[in-house]
Amino acid sequence: MANISSSPTLTNDPEPVSSRRLNVISLVLVLGVFTTLLDTTIVNIALDHLHTAFNATVTDTQWIMTAYLLAYVAVIPISGWTSERFGTRRVWMFAVAVFMLGSLLCGFADSLPTLIAFRALQGLGGGMVFPLTITLLTRAAGKDRLGRAIATIGLIAQIAPILGPIAGGSIVESIGWHWLFFINIPLCLAALVLAPLFLPREQAGAGRPLDIGGLLLLTPGVVALAFGISQVGGVNGFAAVESWLPLILGASALLVFTLRSLRSKTAALIDVRVFSRRSFGIGSVITFVSGFSIYALIFLLPLFYQQLRGNSIMETGFLLIPQGLGTICFILCSRHLVARIENRLVIVIGVLATMVGILPFALDGLNGANALLLAGQFLQGFGMAAVSLPVMTLAFTSLSHAETPRGSAAFSIVQRVGAPFGVTVIAVLFQHFLTDSSPAQAFSTTFWWIFALSAVPLILAFFLPSTTRDHTKSK
């Protein structure tokens, strides 16, 4: 198998920055990523409280998350074009500013409809932060140090899902739900102050024409898919018209967009040809199917502790910490112990670790010893990072400097559609098992399904290019 580093697409790229400056750039970028991750985990755990605070139905309250998700995915397709047209640093700062404004307005919201509207504004900013962060990071690091740079961001960003449930519970119980959103303001301000000082400045593009036709197909298509997925949790699941109709329309729009982009002689909004690269294409598939395992676990474990074992929100937050610690452990190890191990082997080890970590929950979740369950979560976190970080590194090292903005947007779309889709399928399965058996048996069976679906990335890993994760090179 050919090593991706020999790909001709990687030639003639600008020289990456020094290692010291790369570390500073990573720390600035992580402020934006950390803020959006922290916001999501904090708000998720407070949905039940907001449902009571606004005296609204659960269905109406769910739009606090749905509006954010739809706005988030709607803006991703255009992130590549805007970064090329106006400069990546400038657009990244604009995205952080929009997210900060949305957070401020959410904190002052006095009704559920206004909160939902301001959450959509938050989503417009948050949706652009991740793909733009990857673009800036990829260009600054170069292919030899991209894995280390991604690991640095992942290490710090992993604190968000650890702190989120604990911080959310504490804020709601002590100072009120408005501060769930005000907490974002100082982090965003710090990012906006530091960005002009440390992020690399790029010249705005010559004005590549915006692919209007592609925009009219891709954005509604992605939003329709996201909306259809969000409606599956209803009584009729995928059989509900509000679920299957948007899914069909969205998939059709994406199919037409793909065919149109392949035939177009001009630059498409998203360069679908990057999926023909083995590392990018297979990495994207692994990322998509991770929704059935990695993201499904993130969804199911809080329910497991609260509904089956009777733990409170605060207790659940503390019980979920080992998963984050496992992720941090892998990131630290990846920079030293496994820095030269072949990527495919690292991913295989990660999948196996995740599967072993699921077993205590599938075999005896209700009566299982806490120590065994916590150890299982540690393995899950270790395995999740061992799969996702190398896959992302492989995907983006196959792209050239010019391809990175549209490639990062494409990867973000795959991730943002695959994650909720996988979680929704697992949620539907769980609800089905819950109606036919006891809660303990329903959880056990669902964990077994996640265990089986976790094997899919294991198979796909062997089709990835043969490379090593050498992060020791530096300028």
Which one of 168, 200, 232 terminates a domain?
Answer: 200
Residue 239 DSSP class:
G
Decide if 135 contacts 25 (C-beta within 8 A): no
Q: How many CB atoms lie within 10 A of CB 307?
A: 13
For 263, other C-beta atoms within 10 Å of its C-beta total 8
Tokens 């598939």 correspond to 285
Radius of gyration of the chain (CA): 21
Distance, CA of 431 to CA of 161 (rounded, Å) = 25
Tell me the residue type at 219.
T
Predicted confidence at residue 274, as pLDDT, reads: 83
Cβ-in-10-Å burial (0-12, 13-18, 19+) of 310 comes to: exposed
| Number of domains, the chain | 3
Based on the domain organization, do 231 and 276 belong to the same domain? Answer: no
Task: Tell me, yes or no, whether 252 and 386 share the same domain.
Answer: no
CATH of the domain at 393: 1.20.1250.20
196 near 94, Cβ under 8 Å? no
Same domain, 175 and 53: yes
Task: Give the whole-angstrom CA distance, residue 387 versus residue 350.
Answer: 5
Residue 393 lies in a domain: yes
CB-CB contact of 62 with 83 (8 Å): no
Whole-number pLDDT of residue 378: 94
- Residue 372 sits in the same domain as residue 403: yes
Domain end point (choices 226, 245, 261): 261
State whether 312 and 427 are in the same domain.
yes
Joined tokens for residue 403: 């391809």
412, part of any domain: yes
Cβ contacts of 27 within 8 Å, gap of 6 or more: 152, 156
User: What is the reported pLDDT for 73?
Assistant: 85
| In the block, residue with structure tokens 């968000």 | 160
Token representation of residue 68: 């954010």
241, 142: one domain: no
Q: Is residue 97 part of a domain?
A: yes
Residues 191 and 280 in one domain: no
CA distance 162 to 172: 17
In a domain, residue 11? The reply is no
**Main-chain dihedrals φ then ψ at residue 12, nearest 5 degrees:** 60, 25
Helices 112-141 + 146-157 axis angle, to 10: 150
User: What is the domain extent for residue 108?
Assistant: 19-200
> What is the structure's pLDDT at 451?
93
Q: Are the beta carbons of 461 and 347 closer than 8 angstroms?
A: yes
Same domain, 256 and 292: no
pLDDT digits (tens), the chain, 475 positions: 333 333 333 334 556 677 788 888 888 998 888 888 888 778 877 777 787 788 877 667 778 888 888 888 888 888 888 888 888 899 999 999 999 999 999 999 988 999 999 999 999 999 899 889 988 888 887 777 777 777 777 776 667 777 777 777 778 778 888 898 999 999 999 999 999 999 887 766 655 677 888 888 888 888 888 888 877 766 677 778 888 899 899 999 989 988 888 887 666 777 788 888 888 889 899 988 888 888 888 878 888 887 788 887 777 778 888 888 888 888 888 766 555 677 788 889 999 999 999 999 988 766 767 888 999 999 999 998 888 888 888 888 777 777 788 788 888 888 888 887 888 788 878 877 888 788 888 899 999 999 999 888 889 988 888 765 444 343 3
- Identify whether the C-beta of residue 467 lies closer than 8 Å to the C-beta of residue 3: yes
Q: Same structural domain for residues 316 and 412?
A: yes
Both 311 and 186 in a single domain? no
Please give the Cα distance from 129 to 96 (Å, whole number): 7
Q: Does a structural domain hold residue 343? A: yes
465 in the same domain as 336: yes
Residues 223 and 155 in one domain: no
Q: Is residue 14 part of a domain?
A: no
| 363-385 b/e (C-beta count within 10 Å ≥ 16 → b) | eebeebeeeebbbbbbbbbbbbb
- What letter would DSSP give residue 54? T
What is the number of alpha carbons within 13 Å of residue 83 lying toward its C-beta?
Answer: 34
Instruction: Judge whether 97 and 419 are in contact, CB under 8 Å.
Output: no
Query: What pLDDT score was predicted for residue 1?
Result: 31
Domain-located, residue 271: yes
- List C-alpha distances in Å: 199 to 12, 30, 69, 241: 22, 12, 28, 46
User: How far is C-alpha 408 from the geometric centre of its chain's CA atoms?
Assistant: 12
For residue 269, the 8-state DSSP code is: S
Q: Does 379 map to a domain?
A: yes
